[in-house]
Structure 1
Amino acid sequence: MRKPPSHLVAREGWILIAAAGLLMILAVRLSSVGLGVLALILLVLLIMLFRDPHRTIPSLPLAVLAPLDGTIKSIEHTDRGCLDREATCITMRVDNFGAYSARAPVEGKVLNLQDNYNDGSRLVGVSGLWLRTDEDDDVVMLIDGPRWLRPRSFVGYGERLGQGRRFAFVRIATTARIFIPITSRVEVNRGDYVRSGEDALAMLIHDADEAV
């Protein structure tokens, strides 16, 4: 199993940040105020974009943690989730200046979304993660964004992910949809801001009476 990166600034941004730093040095050498200001703004923006801070994972084994930093956009029940079953779909507006890495919402085994579909599936080419817990709960996350900047995963199918563990560089994303069992108890409201790996979106419920 590949070890996920744990740097405060994601490695994908090191070259760009170094280039912005060199541009600042060049501006000083040329005594160019305009170029210096541009380089400084670029440097700050790149550091904000690629920052990947440490997160303290809560001791909540049945929690579905936020996989990304962002704002809750909607919470809906659907009878046709991405696994063609009833589910609750929590949609997030991704904060691209939040943490650069995505984190596993639950502990479980990584499965292949395409295994459930034939050619022409609506999920072909979609970036996402399907995790199955030891209790057979399925949690699926789909990430929407530019095709030329899709998330880059560190894990493969069949691997086991710990809750809150980094599993991919998000890059530039617009929204994320998290599908959880219909019996789950949602812990967030529309408009809430959540932090990846720290804030719980929902709790998995195995006794139907507890979900009421």
Structure 2
Amino acid sequence: MLPIAPEGRLYLALLAVLVAVAHLFLGVWALPTWLLLLGGFFIFRNWGRETPSRPLAVVSPLDARVMAVDECHDPFLERPALCVTLRQSWRGEFNMYSPVECRVQQFFRRKTDTAVDASGYLAVWLKTDEAEDVVVAMQCRSWPHVFHCMAGAGDRLGQSRRCGFLGFARWAQVYLPPTARAEVRPGQRISAATDVIATLVHKKQDADA
């Protein structure tokens, strides 16, 4: 099967039909329609990320550049948090991956002044097996707004598992427990499901250390 995200297969099929019809009626003048089809393949490509599970690690949910790493207030769970702000890369895939092994708790949609630009955000609340809370918030105001999550509340996700499609060039914020240890710095380019952005640190681990 072609390495295409499920969200894009219908669009690409329609584009292929458009290209065929254009060639039927326009001949060589329809060659520019191939650019649309190639662009569709670029946007919806899904080569897959085979990465080993890393206990207590939080991997990047998308191909991105790190814009900020700081302590903040999580407006979704109303708690202190370590926040990693990401800007989705135009050159990377537009797929979204689960940053931790977890169970989906709830989806939120709201405006928040603590987010990147006070825009509307769609967030998903995840809970790890160690009962740690992780929130991934995606900015969804600017056009074109495309977001699809394959998981629902109560579903279990493996770490680094593809769980949706996010486009295009979005801002995202990952809210982590304040005890988490950041593993990235602003300006760094990171790959989804591969690069670790933080490590969850439990109080028991601190005491043992």
State the TM-score bracket (shorter-chain normalisation): 0.7 to 0.9
- Whether contact under 8 Å (1:142, 1:176) holds in the other structure is yes
Q: Which residue of 2 is the match for residue 50 of structure 1?
A: 44
Q: Where in structure 1 are there 5+ consecutive unaligned residues?
A: 1-5, 115-119
Distance change (3 Å), C-alpha of 1:136 and 1:10:
same
Distance change (3 Å), C-alpha of 1:122 and 1:23:
closer
1:23-82 deviation per Cα after TM superposition (whole angstroms, max 9, x unaligned): 44345443334x312x12211211111111210223311110111111111111114453
Q: Which residue of 2 is the match for residue 85 of structure 1?
A: 79
For 1:110 and 1:80, how far apart are their aligned partners in 2?
17
1:91-170 correspondence to structure 2 within 5 Å: 91-113=85-107, 122=111, 126-146=121-141, 149-170=145-166
1:152-191 correspondence to structure 2 within 5 Å: 152-172=148-168, 174-191=170-187
Distance change (3 Å), C-alpha of 1:185 and 1:36:
same
- State the aligned residue count: 198
**Counterpart residue identity of residue 97, structure 2:** R
SS in structure 2 opposite 1:52?
A: coil
For 2:45 and 2:207, how far apart are their aligned partners in 1?
42
SS in structure 2 opposite 1:82?
A: coil
- Whether contact under 8 Å (1:81, 1:87) holds in the other structure is no
1:25-36 correspondence to structure 2 within 5 Å: 25-29=20-24, 30-33=26-29, 35-36=30-31
The percent of aligned pairs where both chains have the same amino acid is: 32
For 1:78 and 1:146, how far apart are their aligned partners in 2?
22
**Counterpart residue identity of residue 131, structure 2:** D
Cα displacement (A) at 1:7: 6.3
Q: Which residue of 1 is the match for residue 191 of structure 2?
A: 195
Q: Which residue of 1 is the match for residue 53 of structure 2?
A: 59
1:147-173 deviation per Cα after TM superposition (whole angstroms, max 9, x unaligned): 773422222212221111122222435
- Whether contact under 8 Å (1:48, 1:98) holds in the other structure is no
1:139-197 deviation per Cα after TM superposition (whole angstroms, max 9, x unaligned): 11001124773422222212221111122222435111001111212111212222211
Moved more, 81-90 or 43-52: 81-90
- Whether contact under 8 Å (1:63, 1:202) holds in the other structure is yes
- Whether contact under 8 Å (1:66, 1:195) holds in the other structure is yes
For 1:210 and 1:202, how far apart are their aligned partners in 2?
20
Cα displacement (A) at 1:85: 1.3
For 2:20 and 2:13, how far apart are their aligned partners in 1?
11
Larger strand percent: 2
For 2:197 and 2:155, how far apart are their aligned partners in 1?
23
Q: Which residue of 1 is the match for residue 17 of structure 2?
A: 22
Q: Where in structure 2 are there 5+ consecutive unaligned residues?
A: 113-119
Q: Which residue of 1 is the match for residue 5 of structure 2?
A: 10
**Counterpart residue identity of residue 167, structure 1:** C
TM-score, length of structure 2 as denominator length: 0.81
Cα displacement (A) at 1:209: 6.6
